[in-house]
Amino acid sequence: MASSPYPTRTYLPGQFVVSAGSILFRRAPESGKLQMCLLYHTIKNEWLLPKGRKDCGESIETTAVRETYEETGYKCKLSPCNMSTRAPAYGVHTKDMIREAEQITEPIAIMVRDQGLDGVKIISWYISELDGDGQKVEGTQMDTESFASQFIDAEEALRTLTFKGDQDIAAKALEIVRHTGTI
């Protein structure tokens, strides 16, 4: 049997966790400045982006929206943006190449986090925006979660995030949102 010419790692059931999250944006009601919603982990003293595990039978996009809502308390939806992608347009067969697409809701990043003996966590990251009246709903977190959510001016949010990986993803999201200009 032939081997792939490309370096390949295969993870079987139980060796991976599929997760999704989003960078939630809004315009500040008072100033109109672009803001991101961050989570403050009150026990670990860390600033994070909302994300969580995919439920069985759930689409990855639904996971991103659900987890963002559960952890932040803000109803949201994926935000159509203009960005580079290797995904072809729906129903169109094209060569695998980078192209500019308009008004898509594809992941802006895929993070693969090594979990040691437990395998890997694969996180799909999306851009989201408020959906509905923009009011925070209390009591949306799981009993085991201890987050305080806060909208912070976008540039300050980049500096506030605890982990470099989150900073990099949030910076790319901000670049895409500014380029698109729809939020």
What number is the average pLDDT over the span 25-43?
Answer: 96
CB contact at 8 A, 35 and 25: yes
Residue 38 has pLDDT above 90, yes or no: yes
pLDDT digits (tens, 9 = 90+) for 8-31: 989 999 999 999 999 999 999 999
| Dist CA 104 CA 72 (whole Å) | 24
pLDDT higher for 90 or 80? 80
| Residue spans per domain, the chain | 20-180
Residue 170 has pLDDT above 90, yes or no: yes
How do residues 126-169 score in pLDDT, each as one tens digit? 999 999 888 898 888 888 888 999 999 999 999 999 999 999 99
Q: What is the torsional sign of CA 166, 68, 177, 30?
A: negative
3-state DSSP of 58-75:
CCHHHHHHHHHHHHHCCC
The pLDDT value given to residue 78: 98
Residues whose CB falls within 8 Å of the CB of residue 58, separated by 6 or more in sequence, listed in order: 66
Q: What is the mean pLDDT of the chain?
A: 95
What does the pLDDT look like over 68-87, one tens digit per residue?
Answer: 999 999 999 999 999 999 99
Please state which CATH class domain 20-180 belongs to: alpha beta
Residue type, 99: R
Measured distance CA(120)–CA(3) in Å, rounded: 23
Asked if residue 1 has pLDDT above 90, the reply is: no
pLDDT for the residue numbered 137: 80
